[in-house]
């Protein structure tokens, strides 16, 4: 049962030859993904039956197998017009063993735990809940899938491109004879997003058809592939520096690294790059780099726009918590909008796996005495508080070991609050911070490093923190005013507008609030004179933006030793986001965004937290931490923040841009790409410039257009690249984006990876640019 496609009629000998060919193809692709002869891969290529689970009544046997490209998963379907269904390995976000999805918990019994697994996809595609025949088979499915996902993820960009092109060639080979006719070649060109005239297609076909057989096969297809992937711009750069026997010696490569890439390196570093990237053994022995090795270097992390050292944790993590920007989510439980969207534990998993370090829990009384989480006074679905805490316990530290803050918006009765406290203690165990670190009353926050693996509770507290160290346990008042955001939630839903309500607070829950006690904001002067470091305020976006415009320096000083949380206005019923940059400019740490909404604002958030190992914490610039600082992002005066630069950028080319789904019923049209470069920082630095569009070429468009931006405060600037499909009649369609801090960008010739609207990598697509950040005269 090795292939389920509808084949043209074949004789017995043709069928045997075809099956043999399919085995060879699978073998080649297995080798390409680094799993040659792997038994788990062989198991997936043969495939087998699994029970697909959709509800209590819908549990059906379906046959699943990996196709010969080692990249596409096939499964049978009983739908009338959809006999087969496929999905790409590259679309899988994670594979999870056991009953970890909401569906499996709901529709299966605990006794089949060791036979169940779920495949979760990137974006909004519904997860796949499956059950194997035995635990042994389950392990083969999960291990095999994880191996391929990891190996595909770790392939070099060149290998990814090769893999992608070869799989496109196979799709274009309609009759599966491993030969390519002129008609199939034209179909292939459209698949890879390039529109060519019939004359040009015939011309390259003729050039490659050395055997004059009227089809391309074997080495002729290889030759066609090389013609297709030829990049003139790389040739020009390479030729300029390859001064030794038409190759780059280590000395030539060093000249390139010093002059073009502006890197502070030695000949020893050039040797290291040759050793790492050169593919030709003879050249490697001579300590030379061929053009193929040079392209390999440019496409890997050393040639990527993000500084390789910034890809990992490189900042000082021993400063107080208030000295860091903290990746933060708003309404974390929502999968979609905040009026009627579903609430789900899955939303917490997605946020935590993106290194979000502050998640929000809106807690309400539920039936059967069980507290629930949902968006109050709306039609959003509910999820159990205890289920959310279990998920947080499991996923909090999978992508980052630094502390997670649980921002509680508490609307519960005292009884259900006590139950919340019980769940927090019993489920989180030692990870929960229940008292200050050390034996004496602290005067400042501990550092992210000191809080590794710890979970902090943000919420209301009945008394001062020093009560922990005294025998005086007196509670001044059993009631506290509701959280600002909680009160606003009620104001939006109830008329007439009530006075700020008070709620009874359970002592057990109050005692868990250590470093993040919620208090109402009464002005910067009041906060300076009356607020302890651990007392923090939440600001609605409109209030925060007003303060950032009118009292920026005071806001920055407030944020040096206290935390501030900013949240979107309740009127954003579609869960849209505000611009986080002005909030970072005044040193706000917890700038909470709707992670479930793909948007430009989320791209900026992802860019801000991309460096430092994507750990969810970024150290603020020194001028936002020093008490003597008089920095004001709105009125730039002289100071350590003012480091005037000119940012030069040349947008050279793009590689393998994906098509845009304009009309699902027609063959998707070829894109007309353009690139926009944006700077986001202090007001004086904000800017945007774009290239012209290229007609009908998403495969290898070339622009060679240069721009420059004056930069005043580089430490707060982010650069964002956006690729769009030009449309004269309507709004341009989004193709891809990438964002990073300007100080994390490498100079010189660099490849820029491209990400989807949701922030996932678009495999094999990239931009090629030249950039230079230099001191202004």
Give binding residues for substrate as ranges.
52-79, 458, 460, 538, 565
Per-residue HEC secondary structure of 356-414 comes to: CCEEEEEEECCHHHCCEECCCCCCCCCEEHHHHHHHHHHHCCCCCCCCEEEEEEECCCH
- In the block, tokens 């910034």 appear at 310
- CB 144 within 8 Å of CB 743: no
Integer Cα distance of 86 and 128 in angstroms? 12
Integer Cα distance of 309 and 531 in angstroms? 39
Integer Cα distance of 416 and 504 in angstroms? 11
Distances (CA, A) of 411 to 214, 329, 403, 441, 519: 74, 19, 25, 30, 16
Q: What radius of gyration, in Å, describes the C-alpha atoms of the chain?
A: 29
- The CA dihedral of 600, 604, 606, 612, to the nearest 10 degrees, is 170
Tokens of 201: 């297609």
In this structure, what are the phi and psi dihedrals at residue 82, rounded to the nearest 5 degrees? -140, 75
Integer Cα distance of 363 and 676 in angstroms? 42
- CB 256 within 8 Å of CB 298: no
Integer Cα distance of 750 and 764 in angstroms? 15
Distance linking the first and last C-alpha atoms of the chain: 70
State the binding site.
Answer: 52-79, 331, 360, 362, 409, 458, 460, 538, 565, 670, 672, 696, 725, 727
Q: Following DSSP, what letter does each residue of 755-770 receive, concatenated?
A: E-TTS-EEEEEEEEEE
- CB 577 within 8 Å of CB 597: yes
Specify burial of residue 499 (Cβ count, 10 A radius: 0-12, 13-18, 19+): exposed
Q: Following DSSP, what letter does each residue of 300-357 receive, concatenated?
A: SGGGBSB-GGGGS--S---S-GGGEEEEEESSTTBSS-TTTPPB-HHHHHHHHHTT--
Tokens of 771: 């950039």
Nearest to 750 by CA among 53, 371, 261, 354: 261
Integer Cα distance of 673 and 68 in angstroms? 32
SS3 216: strand
Residues with a catalytic annotation lie at: 330, 375
Distance of CA 400 to the CA centre of its chain: 14
Tokens of 519: 């208090």
């Amino acid at each position: 049962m090795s292939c389920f496609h509808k084949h043209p009629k074949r004789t017995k000998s043709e069928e045997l030859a075809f099956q043999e060919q399919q085995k060879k193809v699978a073998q080649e692709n297995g080798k390409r993904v680094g799993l040659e002869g792997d038994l788990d891969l062989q198991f997936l290529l043969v495939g087998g039956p699994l029970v697909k689970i959709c509800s209590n009544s819908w549990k059906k046997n379906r046959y699943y197998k990996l196709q010969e490209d080692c990249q596409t998963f096939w499964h049978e379907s009983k739908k009338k017009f959809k006999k087969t269904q496929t999905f790409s390995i590259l679309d899988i976000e994670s594979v999870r063993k056991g009953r970890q999805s909401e569906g499996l918990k709901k529709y299966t019994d605990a006794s089949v735990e060791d036979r169940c697994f779920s495949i979760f996809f990137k974006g909004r595609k519904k997860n796949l809940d499956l059950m194997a025949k035995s635990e042994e088979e389950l392990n083969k499915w999960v291990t095999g899938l994880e191996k391929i996902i990891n190996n595909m993820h770790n392939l070099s960009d060149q290998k990814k491109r090769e893999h992608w092109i070869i799989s496109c060639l196979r799709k274009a080979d309609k009759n599966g004879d491993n030969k390519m006719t002129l008609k199939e070649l034209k179909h292939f060109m459209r698949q890879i997003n390039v529109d060519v005239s019939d004359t040009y297609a015939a011309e390259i076909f003729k050039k490659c058809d050395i055997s004059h057989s009227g089809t391309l096969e074997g080495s002729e297809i290889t030759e066609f592939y090389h013609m297709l992937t030829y990049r003139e711009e790389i040739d020009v750069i390479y030729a300029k520096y390859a001064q030794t026997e038409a190759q780059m010696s280590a000395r030539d490569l060093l000249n390139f690294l010093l002059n073009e890439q502006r890197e502070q390196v030695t000949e020893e570093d050039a040797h290291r790059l040759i050793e790492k990237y050169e593919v030709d053994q003879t050249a490697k022995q001579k300590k030379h780099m061929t053009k193929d090795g040079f392209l390999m270097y440019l496409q890997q992390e050393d040639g990527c726009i993000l500084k390789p050292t910034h890809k990992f944790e490189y900042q000082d993590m021993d400063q107080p918590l208030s000295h860091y920007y903290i990746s933060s989510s708003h309404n974390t439980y929502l999968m979609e909008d905040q009026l009627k969207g579903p609430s789900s534990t899955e939303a917490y998993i997605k946020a935590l796996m993106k290194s979000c370090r502050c998640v929000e829990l809106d807690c309400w009384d539920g039936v059967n005495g069980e507290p629930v989480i949902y968006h109050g006074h709306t039609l959003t679905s509910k999820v159990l508080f205890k289920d959310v805490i279990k998920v947080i316990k499991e996923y909090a530290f999978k992508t980052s070991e630094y502390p997670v803050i649980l921002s509680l918006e508490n609307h519960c009765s005292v009884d259900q609050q006590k139950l919340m406290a019980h769940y927090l203690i019993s489920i989180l165990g030692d990870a929960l911070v229940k008292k200050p670190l050390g034996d004496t009353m602290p005067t400042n926050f501990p550092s992210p490093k000191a809080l590794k693996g710890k979970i902090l509770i943000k919420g209301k507290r009945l008394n001062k923190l020093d009560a922990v160290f005294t025998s005086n346990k007196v509670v001044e008042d059993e009631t506290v005013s509701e959280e600002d955001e909680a009160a606003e939630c009620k104001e939006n839903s109830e008329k007439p507008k009530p006075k700020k309500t008070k709620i009874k607070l359970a002592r057990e829950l109050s005692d868990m609030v250590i470093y993040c006690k919620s208090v109402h904001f009464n002005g910067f002067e009041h906060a300076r004179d009356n607020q302890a470091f651990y007392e923090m305020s939440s600001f609605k976006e409109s209030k925060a933006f007003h303060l950032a415009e009118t009292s920026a320096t005071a806001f920055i000083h407030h944020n040096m030793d206290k935390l501030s949380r900013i949240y979107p206005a309740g009127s954003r019923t579609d869960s849209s986001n505000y611009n986080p940059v002005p909030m970072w400019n005044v040193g706000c740490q917890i700038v909470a965004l709707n992670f479930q909404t793909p948007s430009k604002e989320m791209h900026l958030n992802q860019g801000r937290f991309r460096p430092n190992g994507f750990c969810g914490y970024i150290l603020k610039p020194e001028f936002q931490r020093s008490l003597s600082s008089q920095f004001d992002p709105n009125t730039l005066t002289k100071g350590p923040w003012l480091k005037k630069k000119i940012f030069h950028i040349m947008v050279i080319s793009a590689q393998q841009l994906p098509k845009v789904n304009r009309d699902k019923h027609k063959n998707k049209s070829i894109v007309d790409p353009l690139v926009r470069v944006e700077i986001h920082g202090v007001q004086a630095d904000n800017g945007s410039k774009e290239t012209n569009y290229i007609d009908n070429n998403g495969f290898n468009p070339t622009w060679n257009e240069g721009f420059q931006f004056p930069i005043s405060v580089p430490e707060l600037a982010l650069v964002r690249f956006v690729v769009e499909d030009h449309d004269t009649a309507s709004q341009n369609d989004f193709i891809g984006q990438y964002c990073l801090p300007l100080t994390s960008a490498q100079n010189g010739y660099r490849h820029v990876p491209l990400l989807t609207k949701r922030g996932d990598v678009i495999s094999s697509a990239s931009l090629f640019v030249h950039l230079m950040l230099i001191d202004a005269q």
